[in-house]
Amino acid sequence: MSSWIDIPPLWLGLALATAWAQARHLDMGLTFGGAWSDFAGGLLVGGGLILIALAAHEMYRQRTTILPNREAGRLVTTGIFSRTRNPIYLGDVMILAGFILNWNAVLSLPLVPIFLWFIERRFIFAEEDGLRRKFRADFARYCQKTRRWI
């Protein structure tokens, strides 16, 4: 049961809730100033959702799991995965940054690198270790040509 609870969307939701609460209750009069933050925030959220959708589609097409606590059936290196090894996590980071901009949650900006650091240590390193053990040389070649983030 705990493996179903410990999933990246939950951690993204907690980070978003923290940023929203900070913006709502502890703004201290700070803003990013103007419509540019709404626009940039919208682009980041939209781009993050697109990345996640592209990754989910590619994983479905390759008939492998999207759940980080399950063993991958295949090593997906095509589509958006040819540009970044972690498009879903990159999308999560973009969504968090976008909402922080949109909500003028200035004091929550440190959540972005903290969230990235946490996701790497909690999910990415373990996932990559599993892929390295299962797909060995194929995964090593993939890592050489495709960066973890961008």
Q: What confidence tens digit (pLDDT) does each residue in 116-132 have?
A: 999 999 999 999 999 99
Over the stretch 71-108, which tens digit does the pLDDT of each residue have?
Answer: 999 999 999 999 999 999 999 999 999 999 999 999 99
DSSP state of 68: T
Structure letter (DSSP) for residue 102: H
Are 144 and 77 in contact, with CB atoms under 8 Å apart? no
3-state secondary structure of 115: helix
Q: What's the predicted TM-score (pTM) here?
A: 0.94
